[in-house]
Amino acid sequence: MNSQPSSAEIVGYGANEIWVDVDAASAGMLVMSEVFYPGWNARVNDRAVEVLRANYLFRAVEIPAGASRVKFKYEPVTFTVGIGLGAITILALAGFGIWAQKKSGTSQ
């Protein structure tokens, strides 16, 4: 059993991002008392890691021994899809508007 203490400190907390500095005596898990929800990604020391479900409700990531920076970022796929569909819709409406204007202008 390792008697060295481990520590974790939240150093940044925003609407879509959380940064945590961890100093782990041994490899283990960082469990955040934040609700597990699809769309959260995590990086440990700038390396992408899987966000795991802990105790059915919380988010967790595996961390190595030693000092680490953990960054959680909320990037839901639905947001990216929505942006793409919105852009396509705007382009289609603009194209239809140009087409309708040219059609009405040539029929006069």
**What pLDDT digit, counting tens, does each position of 25-37 carry?**
999 999 999 888 8
Chain centroid to CA 65:
24
pLDDT value, residue 27? 95
Same-domain status, 46 and 81: no
Residues 43 and 91 in one domain: no
C-beta of residue 40 within 8 angstroms of C-beta of residue 74: yes
pLDDT in tens, the chain (108 residues): 556 789 999 999 998 999 999 999 999 999 999 888 889 999 999 999 999 999 999 999 999 999 999 999 998 877 777 888 888 889 889 888 888 888 887 654
Sign of CA dihedral 60, 66, 69, 75: negative
Q: Are residues 8 and 54 in the same domain?
A: yes
Percent with pLDDT over 70 in the chain: 94
Shared domain for 67 and 94, answered yes or no, is no
Residues 35 and 64 both lie in one domain: yes
- Domain hosting 29: range is 1-75
Q: Are residues 60 and 94 in the same domain?
A: no
Count: domains in the chain: 2
Q: pTM of the entire structure?
A: 0.68
| Same-domain status, 71 and 29 | yes
The answer to whether 41 and 72 have CB atoms below 8 angstroms apart is yes
pLDDT score at 83: 82
- In this structure, the answer to whether residues 52 and 99 fall within a common structural domain is no
Whether residues 54 and 88 share a domain: the answer is no
Q: Which residue has the tokens 């959380």?
A: 18
pLDDT digits (tens, 9 = 90+) for 12-23: 999 899 999 999
State the Cα–Cα distance between residues 11 and 18, nearest whole angstrom: 8
65 and 15 in a single domain? The answer is yes
pLDDT score of 104: 82
Q: Give yes or no: residues 52 and 95 share one domain.
A: no
